[in-house]
Amino acid sequence: MAQEIQKSQGSALDTLQVRAVELRKILQRASYEYYALDAPTMEDSVYDALYHELQDLEKQYPQLITPDSPTQRVGEKPVSQFVSVQHHVPLYSLENAFTTDDVNSWQERCQKVLNTDKDLASQPLCKMEYVCELKIDGSAIALTYEQGVLVRGATRGDGVAGEDITSNIKTIRSIPLKLNLVNPPDRLEIRGEAFLPIAVFDEINHERSQQGESLFANPRNAAAGTLRQLDSRIVAKRRLDFFAYTIHFPESKLSPSNPPLSDLPLFLPLSSSGRGAGGDGYIISSQWQALEFLQQIGFRVNPNKKLCKSIQELQEYYDYWNHARHDLPYMTDGMVIKLNSFPQQERLGFTQKTPRWAIAWKYPAEEVLTVIKTVTVQVGRTGTLTPVAELRPVLLAGTTVSRATLHNSDRLAELDLHIGDTVIVRKAGEIIPEVVRILPELRPSGATRFVMPTHCPECGQPVLKPEDEAATRCINLECPAIVRGALEHWVSREALDINGIGEKLVKQLVTENHVTSVADLYTLTSEQLQTLDRLGKKSADKIMAAIAQSTTKPWARVLYGLGIRHVGSVNAQTITDNFPNVELLARADKEVIASIHGIGEEIAQSIYDWFRKDINQHLVEHLQKAGLQFESTSKGSKAITLNPNIAGKTFVVTGTLPTLKRDEAKDLIKSAGGKVTDSVSKKTNYLVVGAESGSKLEKAQSLSVTCISEEELLQLLGQSTQSIA
């Protein structure tokens, strides 16, 4: 009897499981039609009824819940913090264009490279097509799907690593939890933009105003802040939207330093609702096909896109949207142009920061009139004094602006700025407000000219204005403003990522003299922190734990955190790949540092100078004693091997060499610490001469530059080397 009851219960559960699967499929199909196709066939009331049926079923029988169920979009509990995660493929920035000439220059650079590729030049592919997509003003996110199911959503972060915000991503209904694919790849990455529609933004600000809360400045800030909410229930209420624009396959065998947009060709059978049903393949070899594919597997793709055949078509499309963008239901700050062909994209590759095959054509900056009330001077972390105009508040590009940069003393002199001047203000690149020009005819009588101070407004020490620089600097490394800036940079997310230490706490730490350099963070005690405003024992202990955790951050982040001028997070990674510990970098000649691909003379000089100051050497020593990571643990580090005959010397390679390709010769020179340039000058040490060398040989001879053959180059390379690894 008991067995019969158990069998009956099992049979009933099986029936319920079949119903749950059926409901999920129906709801997923309805979401696909609504968001991806923008062609809903199901009434909202029907969707709601089916959703509640599934929800009740899963509540009664939790064993029926699956990760891709529509009911699992909103979590029940807030998370305590977000975890940092590495992107499988970096999220690159885009080069900006502001004029038609900028776009033409980009197109010419692309065409020049493609014309030199014999495989592409002989094919119709060398004729370029362009995909134009509106640049959405939101937050870039990366979605990871495994076996077709969403497993991770992350913020862009610094492009290499971001924060895991999966719980928040799941609340965005235009992001499918399960892809519309029968045989999905093991892993698939989708990139796109999360944004807040203007109407929703207005509703949120109206509600916040009614409740006496501060208003969001613009939809972009609101979207970014929403994505970093710890409570996904709040995120769900704010109704973020999403457009997909890129697809990646991280398992590609191509070099990770030059990541592909996709494997080529790609075979992905789609479900019966998509093109290629019944096992027919779908080949993705272009951006246009990728957008079609993204829509078919369940994503919303911006319908305002166009495949253009010429620069003229690009110009016409840009002009149209420059005027029509104000009628869109979301904010857009430009148009993204990508080469359509994936083989062309692969050939052009990437710089350290941007793809060479894409560019963002920004709309002209909005300009408004306002009045300068006064000018204040800020001191940055490198000691740079920046004059800032305090303005009569004015609405500009969706944001209330009350301050604008005046850049530096040279710019200030050009403007001949007086307090009380009426000025034209715009947003540079739609981000930083700046004073463009003044209207002297509207200047009030008795207005006084503003002059840059001769002493630092923070520490009172004399400032320095080098003749060859536009910036005025405080050179007192113990200046409170420099110390504060160094601390804020050190604890930032891209550097040591120390949670709990923000601008206000940094100011208190410096004011109370608890911290005079970043090294002092590692001698702080919980008791010291508890003496500061609004810090109890629990908060102080959390900060102490975060400081301790920062000692595990890799050498590249530590180098970036030191705040050396011109050394960004990408350059820091490149440098630490070549110098696996701080001792090697500290004693390296600037010529050797400059020989690294992507690191020029300016960055090399800055690093060289930094390590030769006693105060910085002592800082490194103290940080080493505190346990910070000053050596690379990565197996992929590729230390430079110095050859005393090559290192620090400048080479030019010309003509056809007997056995080596020119690029091979250049790589050999660079790997030995030498520098390679394209033109002969007085600074050239050697000209490597091959057949049909032309005018470079004549110029080298006129300048008495040493000319050598391939064989002589190999002899130089083959002599004793001094490894710094």
What are the catalytic residues?
135
Return all residues near 82 (Cβ < 8 A) that are at least 6 apart: 163, 164, 165, 228, 230
Look up residue 258 and give its two tokens: 């030059």
Amino acid at 145: Y
Task: Return the percent helix, strand and coil in the chain, to nearest 5.
Answer: 40, 20, 40
Nearest-Å Rg of the Cα atoms of the chain is 29
* Residues 292 and 282: beta-carbon distance below 8 Å: no
- 187: burial class by Cβ within 10 Å (0-12, 13-18, 19+)? middle
Backbone φ, ψ for residue 633 (5° rounding): -105, 5
The 3-class SS string of 422-486 reads EEEEEEECCCEEEEEEECHHHCCCCCCECCCCCECCCCCCEEECCCCCCCEEECCCCCHHHHHHH
Is the CB of residue 133 less than 8 Å from the CB of residue 302? yes
Q: Which amino acid is at 55?
A: Q
What is the rounded distance in angstroms from the CA atom of residue 249 to the CA atom of residue 599? 29
**What is the DSSP pairing of strand 399-405 with strand 384-396?**
antiparallel
Q: Which residues, at least 6 apart from 144, have a Cβ–Cβ distance to it below 8 Å?
A: 88, 150, 151, 152, 153, 154, 187, 188, 189
| Both structure tokens of 241 | 């939207």
